[in-house]
Amino acid sequence: MQPIFAGLAIAMAALATPAVHAQTMTPTLDFATADAIRDRCLAHAQEAGHTVAVAVFDQGGNLVSFARDRTSPAAAEVALWKGRSASIYLHSTRETATWNVPTAPLISTAEGGVPLFTREGVGIGGVGVSGAPSAFDAECGSIGAEAAGLRVTPR
C-alpha cells in the first residue's frame, strides 16, 4: 500500500509543478570579447600617440572590461560614463548628446561612447573611451569593436 501512496504523491507533485518554459538564448558580451575591444582600442591610441581610458559594458550596463593608460582619474570616469550610456541606450554618445534630455538617467552628452551590436544587429553592450579628442575617442571604440567582430551600428 505504501508504494501506491508514494507513487500518487509523486504524480500529484509533478502535476502541481508549474510548466517550465523554454528559454530563448540571446547573444551576450563575454570577457574575452570585451578584453579584445579594450586591447585593440588601447593599441590604436598608442599608435596615434594618445593615452586613453577604455570601459566596455554589457547590455545591462555592467562593466565587463576596463583599462586606464596613464590618463587622469577624470578621463577614466568619463570613459565609464560614455560606455555605460552607449550600452544602455544602444546609441552613440554623439547621438545622445543631440537628444536634448541631459537629465535622463546615465545618459552621456560627450562623444566617445559607441554601442556594440552583433553582426546580426543584436545590441550587446557599449564601449566608452576618453582621454583624446572626442572624435578620436569614438573612432578608437569603433576600431576596437570591429576588431572583435562586432558592429557599432545596428543592421
Q: What is the pLDDT of residues 26-85, one digit of tens each?
A: 899 999 999 999 999 999 999 999 999 999 999 999 999 999 989 999 999 999 999 999
Is the pLDDT at 8 greater than 90? The verdict is no
Domains defined along the chain, listed by start? 26-147 (3.30.450.150)
Q: How many CA atoms lie within 13 A of 138 on its CB side?
A: 17
At 30 the pLDDT is: 97
pLDDT for 155: 82
Strand 123-130's sheet: what is its strand order? 63-68, 53-58, 123-130, 113-117
pTM over 0.95: no
Q: Quick one: what percent of the chain has pLDDT higher than 90?
A: 79
Predicted local distance difference test score (pLDDT) of residue 110: 96
Q: What integer is the mean pLDDT of 128-136?
A: 98
